[in-house]
A and B are shown apart, each in its own frame.
Chain A
Amino acid sequence: DADVTQTPRNRITKTGKRIMLECSQTKGHDRMYWYRQDPGLGLRLIYYSFDVKDINKGEISDGYSVSRQAQAKFSLSLESAIPNQTALYFCATSDALARSYNEQFFGPGTRLTVL
């Protein structure tokens, strides 16, 4: 079973729609992250959370919001989707207490297309 799961894996939506991408993890990690990947730009950090009560903006948070419902769940919302939010979205986790605390573990990704 995958340690970090993302739903849905693929989504096509229309401009102006509200979209939620969900991430769940069974690794017991306290820290969770949302990234987007665009061709030629690598992965860019949208939001990150160090525990349930801690939410922080990343490099490109405009147009996005997040919710940390539990230690194991971290959701990303697009309140009103626009075409330039078409991208591959990844959730990741890390363990602050691990020796390799910088290492992040990624989910399989959600491919989002906004028409």
Chain B
Amino acid sequence: DQQVKQNSPSLSVQEGRISILNCDYTNSMFDYFLWYKKYPAEGPTFLISISSIKDKNEDGRFTVFLNKSAKHLSLHIVPSQPGDSAVYFCAASGNQGAQKLVFGQGTRLTINP
């Protein structure tokens, strides 16, 4: 039972354009969401997060949108750069204090020059 789903295994975007990565969740108890970025041969690194009390959080080129009614979040990268090519994982946490993350399957983003 996959509680966090990233339905697109891969995404290819031209440099300078917008990249949109999507994530859906089923557990209404999730109240905090994170995006991680992973390069080959490295561990995932934190990118951006959002609490369920917000519907948008922005950090430079990265913006995360949360639609609680649809149980959907998305990560927007504008403008996309070659260094953004990586695997992106969506993760969710619920029951504040538990600090257990549930991860999606990941989406491989490729930025083409």
Contacts and interface: CB of A to CB of B under 8 A. Distances in A.
Contacts of A42: 4, 6, 89, 103-106
Contacts of A4: 43
A43 interface: yes
Contacts of B49: 100, 102-103
A102 B48 CA distance: 11
A70 to B, nearest CB: 20
A96 interface: yes
Interface size class of B (residues with CB under 8 A): 20 to 34
B22 interface: no
Contact of A90 (B34, B43, B91, B102): B43
Contact of B41 (A103, A104, A108): A108
Contacts of A45: 100-102
A41 to B, nearest CB: 6
Interface of B: 4, 6, 9, 32, 34, 36, 41-46, 49, 89, 91, 93, 97, 99-106
Interface of A: 4, 31, 35, 40-45, 48, 50, 58, 90, 92, 94, 96, 100-109
